[in-house]
Chain A
């Protein structure tokens, strides 16, 4: 029976004790040479101080006091000789693991669902006028950097004005002379750019109306501002949660942020498509302009194959086939279709000249 000394937690005067296992496997501490048992404890209720701690004694998880053997070898020999069922010197507690997994899940859910909601709400703090002021200079820089066709820009603006679109303030439409780049985009604040290459491929006024409706949908729903605020919010969220982690986590976080941004952007594209479809319907123009426009984009993207479906999740824009199908469905359901009015037709002809 190894000798040890016991500190009872009320004074630092040691009590000489004997330490032994009883028949049930509990650790017993008795006054030296006496049968007076001071403490009985299961091995699971004993603390050895933590991982890597080199000590010659132990304390208790649920009572005060501390037992010290003569040396750590004595203690190891004592516990190595313990009855089999009592050899369980530490408990693996599930609660911290569950807590951590739950927290990871909560953070993940919050990151992908809560942060966008918070960010979108916070964008409302910036008024449309402030947004316009904020992006006035960047839009002007872009306009200066590219070659703007002022005559065609005037026609494009006339076409835009002829469309009955919800009024949210001044909108500028510019046509950029670029025969190689088939593109159109809208900047936050209400500036739209369309390339001449895009206009060359558009065959009907309905297709142009679909394009302008789509880009105006981005402006109307303030997707640009939300994207910027979203990036800022994601960066902050990652900085908060992952700021202390290693480069591996930072890389993962960066990829996840990129993924989340792309997913967010796909939702915006769908929202802009819906806006375009609605604006075509409101103007009683044929919604077939929408799927026809996407067919043009699909041809330009060089992919006539559905095997791009696998890459769609990693693409900024939703799969074009999905958008064509959505447009066709909406066109089928359209009740009233009329021809574009004279103002639209004239503007379109001038654009195609």
Chain B
């Protein structure tokens, strides 16, 4: 069995300085620097994560994200314009209807946009990440993903959320299933009913333990998400694995926020690094695959290729 471990080499002090620079520049430029700050953050955390001793690298650029932001802002402005027109046209004739239509259009618009944001963000990050010189790749099938999302959103709404675990699993299956690393394929083998069981069990036990079980519940959900990721290469398989414990969840969700509050926010960069490190240091890949057998596929061998960058790939930091 081959075991490859992830490790975080990020330091809180380094991240403090980088995030301070990002905050200052974002303020000075009236938030226009935000895309570059976002890329800087992804470069920091990805670059300080190693697998089998080698660092990942993030190749995105602020200019790419900035273009994406402009597209997002254009869409957002369009939505606002529609809302203003609705308000002006209905305000005097039917104020009651105006309120209903306003909220329907606003939240409906956001919900319609959400699958694009999820897909765009994932695709952007994956296709700009490399390890040992080979980039991750994604086979684009945005339309199927969006269609399935709308279907699953509808089912989630009409089942009052009961369908949500299936929705999540379908999303993971699509996103991971279309991701590859050279000739290494990724799959998600989790099932919606297993996740639903975890949700029901977790919520029930959290209530009867007055919240104490929440840490184990969160651990179970994270383990479900990671432990069902499977890698396939030339007939061999390996699986992702996390050893994260309830105590780690307690530290992330309780201890670090308290420390951050007590330090009036100054400790937040260290907290962020600690959260990242906790997730990463518990992660490994176990199985039959020898990672040195991975080769880049022919369309990856050209520098900078990322399976036809999609115009809608944007990372807004929303997801």
Q: Which residues of A contact B (CB under 8 A)?
A: 7-14, 47, 49-57, 59, 62-66, 68, 95-96, 99-100, 103-104, 107, 122, 125-126, 130, 133-134, 232, 236, 240-246, 248-249, 252-253
Contacts and interface: CB of A to CB of B under 8 A. Distances in A.
B30 A249 contact: yes
A51 B13 CA distance: 12
B190 to A, nearest CB: 27
Contacts of B36: 96
Contact of B32 (A11, A13, A100): A100
Contacts of A8: 133
B11 interface: yes
A53 B26 contact: no
A246 B18 contact: no
A57 B40 CA distance: 18
Contact of A53 (B44, B292, B296): B44
Contacts of B14: 52, 54
B133 A51 contact: no
B91 interface: yes
Contact of B54 (A10, A68, A122, A130): A68
Interface in B1-30: 9-11, 14-15, 17-18, 21, 23, 26-27, 29-30
B84 interface: yes
24 contacts: A8-B133, A9-B296, A11-B182, A11-B292, A12-B291, A51-B44, A52-B11, A53-B48, A53-B55, A55-B47, A63-B303, A64-B303, A66-B132, A104-B30, A107-B32, A133-B92, A134-B92, A232-B84, A236-B84, A240-B80, A245-B26, A245-B30, A246-B23, A253-B30
Interface of B: 9-11, 14-15, 17-18, 21, 23, 26-27, 29-34, 36, 40, 43-44, 47-48, 53-55, 57-58, 62-63, 66, 73, 76-77, 80, 84-85, 88-89, 91-92, 130, 132-134, 182, 291-296, 301, 303
Nearest to A6: B133
Nearest to A236: B80
B113 to A, nearest CB: 15
Given A12-B134, A12-B294, A248 B27 contact: yes
B43 A50 contact: yes
Nearest to A56: B55
Contact of B31 (A64, A133, A236, A245): A245
A13 B292 contact: yes
A75 to B, nearest CB: 12
Contacts of B55: 49, 53, 55-57
Contacts of B10: 52, 54
B206 to A, nearest CB: 33
B92 A57 contact: no
A244 B34 CA distance: 8
Nearest to A244: B31
A345 to B, nearest CB: 40
A7 B10 CA distance: 23
Contact of B295 (A12, A63, A122): A12
A49 B9 contact: no
Most buried by B among A9, A103, A243, A253: A9
Given A245-B31, A249-B31, A65 B133 contact: yes
Contacts of A10: 134, 295-296, 301
A193 to B, nearest CB: 22
Contacts of A125: 85, 88-89
A47 B57 contact: yes
A69 to B, nearest CB: 11
B188 to A, nearest CB: 23
A8 B66 CA distance: 31
Those 4 A-B pairs whose CB atoms lie nearest each other, nearest first: A50-B43, A53-B47, A49-B47, A9-B133
Contacts of A253: 30
Given A100-B32, A107-B30, A57 B54 contact: yes
Given A122-B88, A134-B91, A240-B80, A12 B44 contact: no
A51 B132 CA distance: 19
A8 B134 CA distance: 8
Contacts of B9: 54-55
A244 to B, nearest CB: 5
Given A54-B9, A122-B84, A125-B85, A49 B43 contact: yes
Nearest to B33: A100
A250 B295 CA distance: 50
A52 to B, nearest CB: 4
A246 B19 CA distance: 14
Contacts of A57: 54-55
Most buried by B among A9, A12, A66: A12
B57 A59 contact: yes
Contacts of B23: 246
Contacts of A134: 91-92
Given A49-B47, A54-B11, A241-B31, A9 B134 contact: yes
Contacts of A11: 134, 182, 292, 294-296
A65 B133 CA distance: 4
Nearest to B63: A96
A51 B91 CA distance: 52
Given A7-B133, A64-B301, A242-B30, 6 more contacts: A10-B301, A49-B43, A54-B14, A65-B133, A232-B84, A248-B27
A115 to B, nearest CB: 11
Contacts of B18: 51-52
B91 A103 contact: no
Contacts of A62: 303
Contacts of B54: 7, 57, 66, 68
Contacts of B30: 104, 107, 241-242, 245, 249, 252-253
Contact of B292 (A12, A50, A52, A63): A12
A173 to B, nearest CB: 23
Nearest to A49: B47
Nearest to A57: B55
A187 to B, nearest CB: 15
B86 to A, nearest CB: 11
A256 B121 CA distance: 33
